[in-house]
Structure 1
Amino acid sequence: MAIPKKGSRLITVDDVVYRWRIRHKPTYGQGIGESPLRLAVQLADAPGRVLLVSLRCHRPDTWLGEEAAMVRPALVAMAITKALHSGWLPSQRGSQVRLDLSRDDLAGLAEIRPALSFTRFRA
């Protein structure tokens, strides 16, 4: 399955260009904070195996105000490098490869935002 060009971003890691994308709308599981934030990565010019990266945090648009992360290109580059060292071969055809990143992997690369706190006001 190829990542659509619309809504995706390009990133270069070790002189190789990749395309990455996060879903525009959360799935139901992501919206209620049950599923983690995920992004997909593949080669930009000759799509092969898709890398599916799961982060141990929530999307910024969760419905319940859970702690969320903002994904930056440095995080995507680190995930690509880690997957390549783990044996991901992006030029080969085949099923998707999954990579789960821990909170330690995210330290300093993802901006973690605390849950919103709502204050009740009396009239």
Structure 2
Amino acid sequence: MVLVKRGSRLITVDGAVYRWRVRRRPTFPQALAAAPLSFAVERAERRGSVLVATMPGRLPDDWIGSAAGPVVPSLVAAVVRRAREQGWRPDRPGPAFFLTIDTVSNR
């Protein structure tokens, strides 16, 4: 699994450069505010396993108009750190690493 470069952003976390992306258009359940917000992260230089993070909240452009906060770089950095603590190895090839976040502290 590889992230599409178009629409992705780069972030440096603890000296490593990652590419992250929130889906441009919501899936049908996300548009109905029935599915949570998710985004994907991978190493920018050496591609390996992709992190798929799912969080409480809704996409800002869902059809229901639910209030939602944006996914900001400090949040992505905190999620990357948490995933690494839980065993995500971004520089090794393999299946996607799924992480469900209940709360995130911006360290």
Query: Normalized against structure 2, the TM-score is what?
Result: 0.94
Distance 2:88 2:61 in 1: 30
Instruction: Say whether 1:26 aligns with 2:6.
Output: no
Q: CA RMSD in A?
A: 1.1
Aligned to 1:5: 5
Aligned to 1:120: none
Equivalences for 1:1-123 in 2 at 5 Å?
1-102=1-102, 104-105=103-104
- The answer for unaligned runs of 5 or more in structure 1 is 110-123
Percent of pairs identical after alignment?
Answer: 41
- Which of structure 1's runs of 4+ aligned residues deviate more than 6 A? none
Higher CA-based Rg: 1
Distance 1:59 1:51 in 2: 18
Distance 2:69 2:36 in 1: 10
